């Protein structure tokens, strides 16, 4: 991040990982622009940040509405100046096997996770300060496909390749792009799973660090990837999963 009060845009900041990231960055002095669809929830996040003495504003925006991306960015830049950081955190899913998912499911998931991310980023990068950094939220599902999450997995695999391609395409603007791939993090996103005791027990048993992740567990690596300490890292994917992916725990 460049200046004394770097401007950082966080999508999906109304709850979960995005909210934790927005609050943490604001505590460190960033001017956070919180984006999501739910104005009331965003206003709560902005109020929480301001109550702590931080600086934050909100923009209500549905990322699947790609035609509006430039207008949203222009409004932010008009009020805050060039953008130093972007956290493409907003994401959604629809459950179902590839035998049952519908074109509507496809539009819902790809329209936000892939198309929305790509064209919002394209709009932001045109107004980004040199030395800016972008962090995309991928997923463990980009590498492992959980049954019933095939569409989501494909969208997150696309996020990984978009990250690598953006790293190449934005390098001449001195903008770095990396991805973070969280494992099982306890948020509203997957609350229905954790309500099933046997599933949370299975994840806990198969995670070497022995617990589900929390939104704050993902914050540190995002902060690192936005900051100067990662200045020679671009096009990389950082897994945050308590060791789930490499472990393949055996029932021995």
Ligand X SMILES: NC(=O)c1ccc[n+]([C@@H]2O[C@H](COP(=O)([O-])OP(=O)(O)OC[C@H]3O[C@@H](n4cnc5c(N)ncnc54)[C@H](OP(=O)(O)O)[C@@H]3O)[C@@H](O)[C@H]2O)c1
Binding site for ligand X (CB under 6 A): 11-18, 36-38, 41, 62-64, 89-92, 112, 137, 139-140, 182, 184-185, 187-190
CA distance 69 to 234: 24
152, 212, 213, 247 from 209: Cα distances, Å: 25, 9, 9, 10
As to burial, measured by CB atoms within 10 angstroms (0-12 exposed, 13-18 middle, 19+ buried), residue 122 is middle
CB nearer to ligand X: pick between 139 and 234 = 139
CB nearer to ligand X: pick between 38 and 229 = 38
Q: How far is the CB of 10 from ligand X (least distance, A)?
A: 9
CB nearer to ligand X: pick between 189 and 224 = 189
Active-site positions? 152
CA distance 139 to 238: 10
Q: How far is the CB of 161 from ligand X (least distance, A)?
A: 16
The answer to whether 197 and 191 have CB atoms below 8 angstroms apart is no
Q: How far is the CB of 172 from ligand X (least distance, A)?
A: 27
- Other Cβ atoms within 10 Å of 161 Cβ, number: 13
SS3 84: strand
CB nearer to ligand X: pick between 18 and 132 = 18
**176 has which bridge partners?**
133
CB nearer to ligand X: pick between 137 and 167 = 137
Q: How far is the CB of 38 from ligand X (least distance, A)?
A: 3
Identify the sign of the CA torsion 60, 65, 69, 74: negative
Q: How far is the CB of 252 from ligand X (least distance, A)?
A: 27
> What is the side-by-side order of every strand in the sheet holding 176-182?
55-60, 31-36, 7-11, 83-88, 128-137, 176-182, 237-240
CA distance 12 to 135: 13
């Amino acid at each position: 991040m460049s200046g004394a009060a770097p401007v950082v845009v966080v999508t999906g900041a109304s709850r979960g990982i995005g909210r934790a990231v927005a609050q943490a960055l604001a505590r460190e002095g960033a001017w956070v622009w919180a984006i999501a669809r739910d104005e009331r929830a965003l206003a709560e996040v902005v109020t929480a940040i301001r109550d702590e003495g931080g600086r934050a504003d909100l923009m209500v925006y549905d990322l699947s509405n790609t035609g509006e991306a430039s207008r949203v960015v222009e409004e932010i830049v008009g009020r805050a100046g060039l953008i130093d950081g972007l956290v493409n955190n907003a994401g959604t899913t629809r459950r179902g096997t590839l035998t049952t998912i519908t074109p509507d499911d496809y539009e819902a998931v790809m329209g936000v996770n892939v198309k929305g991310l790509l064209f919002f980023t394209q709009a932001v990068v045109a107004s980004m300060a040199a030395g800016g950094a972008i962090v995309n939220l991928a997923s463990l599902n980009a590498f492992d496909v959980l049954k019933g999450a095939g569409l989501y997995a494909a969208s997150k695999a696309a996020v990984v390749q978009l990250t690598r391609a953006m790293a190449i395409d934005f390098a001449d603007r001195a903008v770095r792009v990396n991805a973070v791939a969280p494992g099982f993090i306890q948020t509203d996103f997957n609350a229905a799973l954790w309500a099933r005791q046997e599933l949370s027990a299975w994840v806990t048993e198969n995670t070497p660090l022995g617990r589900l992740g929390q939104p704050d567990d993902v914050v540190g690596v995002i902060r690192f990837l936005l900051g100067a300490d990662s200045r020679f890292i671009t096009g990389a994917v950082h897994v945050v999963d308590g060791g789930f992916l490499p472990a393949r725990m055996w029932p021995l």
